[in-house]
Structure 1
Amino acid sequence: MITAVTGPPGAGKTHWIREQISKTTDPVGYFNPGEDSVVIDGTCLACEFPQVQIFTSGEELQRFNPEFVSTTYIEIPWHFDLSSVEPLLTRLNLKRIAIIPSSSQNPEWENWADSAILGNKNIAEPLSKNHNYSVQIHRNLLTGEILDWTSLALFWFELIQGAYGEVIRAKGIFDLVSGESIYGDYVAGTINQEFVALNVPLWLTGRPERFSGLEIVGFNLQLKEISQTLKDCFIPESQIDYYQQQIQTSLQTEEEVTP
């Protein structure tokens, strides 16, 4: 069983896929041809469900078969021209799902799909009211960077409040000086979700050798300001070892006093 899923940003594509994966313990494949090196959704799914295998471009035809996984989900990004992925999809026996708001402004998704599922209806308003502007997508690969929590929280608050342009979707995975890897998720028109810790070990020795990154979708984004403010959240190289030693000492002390 292979299912291809598409729809506008923030409509709930990954959320729907997550719901399907939660219903099985069988091996499941996930492929997003638009994530490239910024694999936010795939990383979150793999952290939450150990049975998920993330496929990358170039291996999809070799791996989309029951020898490796019982089910595969292909999440097609909102900004893809559907005709560009049609050569791949036509070679696969798959089901097509469109996750759309109740007032979708793009009938292409519904016409392409075998069935349409109503997702986040609130995302339709910012998309429709800005129809004269080009939707922008901005990505930062942050792998190896360690961020200060207070600075990150302030940046995130400013970001979703419009300090760097109108944001309709933002999501990111960040490594903190505490050793945690956390996930932030924002969709315009919904209650802002708090950061949540991913189910991965604490990283307290040197720069993290695991993925972290940020993706922002919106209008009139101030890209240089976003990148610079994000850099200001980074812990300097000269301070990384000091902070990690402090955290390790604190954790060791807690273990010693815990009966």
Structure 2
Amino acid sequence: MPQTWLIVGPPGCGKTNWIRETLLKHQGSCAYLRLDGCSHEGLEAGINAGIDRNWLSDQIPRLQDLSNASVSPLPSSEDCLALIEAQQFRFPSIADSDRIDPRIQQQLDRLNLKPDKTLHFGRDSELPKQDTLDFTQLEAWHLNLRDSVWDPSSLSSFWFELVNGAYGDVYRAKALMNLPDGRSFFCNWMVSQEGSQFLPLETVEPPTGRPTRCSHLVVQGKALDQVGIQNTISDCLLADEVLEMQQAQLRQQQPDLQLN
């Protein structure tokens, strides 16, 4: 029969990567949902900006989006696996091991979703533990970059500065970023890891203007220089005339591009 699992854990512990690997191995139909995270005193959850859902949907085209589960319910096939992700800083005590945070439970109830089991990063042995950090203080900031296109070299410089402390103590950063040639990259960094991930999406749009797909930056850390981050980003994004000049060159180099 269909299975529904709730996967929770703190920022950057590897929830989305584990979900991706699990769904890629699954032979049947599959579905995914990311819920809004739960903040605690001094610990601010990152916004649910659609980064994870769009990344997973690109990697697993057959993946069903459960964000409208109350209208479009789970597939009824016996082999369906639905994984629900939520950011949660602390897991319940042993006495409350089966209890779901009320704020997460309310979201599940609105969508008529009832997990068969809940897995906590940092508690359950079947999940990896190496990147599960115990945060004592964390603030979050995000920026919607829809329609924005980056100068590639400026993106590399900005990301290096961001994760190396130029704008405060960044512990977690993830984003979907658009380049002028129609590619988009999933950028992913966690303080417990040695380096960043820059993973290209499979879907490439034709270089004919500004893309309309999801592009967003989410940052978590301490003493974040939000104004400094935003000002630097503004200097890194391509203006209309520069974007058209670069894309026109690409179209001339590749006349067989699909432009429709």
TM-score bin (small chain) = 0.7 to 0.9
Q: Find the counterpart in structure 1 of residue 103 from structure 2.
A: 84
Q: Which amino acid aligns with 1:43?
A: N
Aligned partner of 2:39 in structure 1 is: none
Are 2:205 and 2:211, in contact at CA under 8 Å, matched by a contact in 1?
Answer: no
Query: Residue 105 of structure 1 aligns with which residue?
Result: none
**How far off its partner does 1:163 sit?**
0.7
Tell me, what secondary structure is at the counterpart of 2:105? helix
Alignment of 1:180-219 (within 5 A): 180-219=183-222
Note the C-alpha offset of 1:241: 1.4
Q: Which residue of 1 aligns with 2:96?
A: none
- What's the counterpart of residue 94 of structure 2? none
Match of 1:41 among 52, 61, 64: 52
Structure 2, unmatched stretches of 5+, are 37-45, 91-99
User: Is 2:16 the counterpart of 1:14?
Assistant: yes
Contact kept? 1:6, 1:13, Cα under 8 Å: yes
1:97 maps to: 119
Alignment of structure 1 residues 18-29 onto 2, 5 Å: 18-29=20-31
Report SS of the residue matched to 2:7: strand
Aligned to 2:70: 61
Instruction: Give the superposition deviation at 1:70.
Output: 1.5
Residue 25 of structure 1: CA displacement?
Answer: 3.9
Tell me, yes or no, if the aligned pair for 2:163 and 2:189 is still in contact at 8 Å. Answer: yes
Instruction: Summarize the Cα distance change of 1:72–1:122 in structure 2 as closer, same or farther, 3 Å threshold.
Output: closer
Matched, 1:147 2:157: no
C-alpha displacement of 1:51: 1.2
Aligned to 1:171: 174
Cα distance, 1:221–1:66 mapped onto 2, change above 3 Å: same
Q: Distance in 2 between matches of 1:250 and 1:97?
A: 50
Indicate if the aligned counterparts of 1:165 and 1:221 stay in contact, CA closer than 8 A: yes
For this pair of structures, how many residues does the alignment match? Answer: 233
Give 1:60 deviation, angstroms: 2.5
| Alignment-mate amino acid for residue 98 of structure 1 | H
Do the aligned partners of 1:29 and 1:64 also contact (CA within 8 Å) in 2? no
What CA distance in whole angstroms lies between the structure 2 residues aligned with 1:122 and 1:211? 26
Indicate conservation of the 8 Å contact 1:64/1:72, yes or no.
Answer: no
How far is 1:48 from its partner?
Answer: 0.6
1:2 paired residue among 1, 4, 7: 4
Judge conservation of contact 1:97–1:116 (CA < 8 Å) in 2. Answer: no
Q: Distance in 2 between matches of 1:49 and 1:123?
A: 25
| Residues 173 and 181 in structure 1, CA contact (< 8 A), matched pair in contact too | yes
Once superposed, which parts of structure 1, at least 4 consecutive aligned residues long, lie more than 6 Å away?
none
SS in 1 for 2:21: helix
